[in-house]
Amino acid sequence: MIKVHNPYRQKYHHSYNSDVCPFCNQEIIEKQNIKLLEGSYWMVFVNQYPILDGNLMLVTKRHVEDTSDLYENEWKELKEKVEETKAILSKVFETKSFNVGFNVGPDSGSSVRHLHWQVIPRIDRQVMNGFSGFIAGIHTVRISPKELKSKIEKAL
Ligand SMILES: [Zn+2]
């Protein structure tokens, strides 16, 4: 089990008014400059509060909270966007390993109700915090969301 020290995620709970969906609010999306790609039904965002380095998210364009509310065409495009996102991260982080998937429902641990699919490249061995980090099993998120967006845009 890896422990994660994450300076970006600590800010999370103070950042959003819970009445405003951050993924539906164009002002927030533009201010945070998080949108990387856009399809017909999904957008690819850089996670402003990454779980691990390289954390991207696929977010539905319409406000949906449960997978049972997704239409067939949204599922179809999700598959394409997941593969596209994995290919981008594979190129940038030189890995073939990922954590991918949804958290659904109020007890799932998801911070935002609006359905989002996490894509996280797994590169733990290369980026552990030196020897002491390796021994303690501690991983620090080192790449800021802004740096990640810039890295990916250069690679595209
Ligand atoms: Zn929403």
Question: Two tokens at 124?
Answer: 């733990």
The C-alpha atoms of residue 62 and residue 96 are separated, in whole angstroms, by 30
The C-alpha atoms of residue 58 and residue 38 are separated, in whole angstroms, by 9
Distance in Å, CA 89 to ligand 1 centroid = 25
pLDDT above 90 covers a percentage of the chain that reads 63
pLDDT at 79: 97
pLDDT at 150: 95
Residues 6-18 pLDDT 10s: 666 655 544 545 6
Distance in Å, CA 53 to ligand 1 centroid = 24
Across the chain, mean pLDDT equals: 85
Distance in Å, CA 155 to ligand 1 centroid = 29
CB neighbours of residue 93 within 10 Å = 23
Expressed in percent and rounded to 5, the helix, strand and coil fractions of the chain are 40, 20, 40
With bands split at pLDDT 50, 70 and 90, how would you rate the model's confidence at 66? very high
- The domains located in the chain, with CATH, are 3-14+21-155 (3.30.428.10)
Residues 94-129 pLDDT 10s: 999 999 999 998 888 888 999 999 999 998 655 555
The C-alpha atoms of residue 57 and residue 114 are separated, in whole angstroms, by 11
The C-alpha atoms of residue 47 and residue 75 are separated, in whole angstroms, by 21
Q: Is 118 helix (H, G, I), strand (E, B) or coil?
A: strand
Least confident of 23-32, 82-91, 95-104, 121-130: 121-130
Distance in Å, CA 102 to ligand 1 centroid = 15
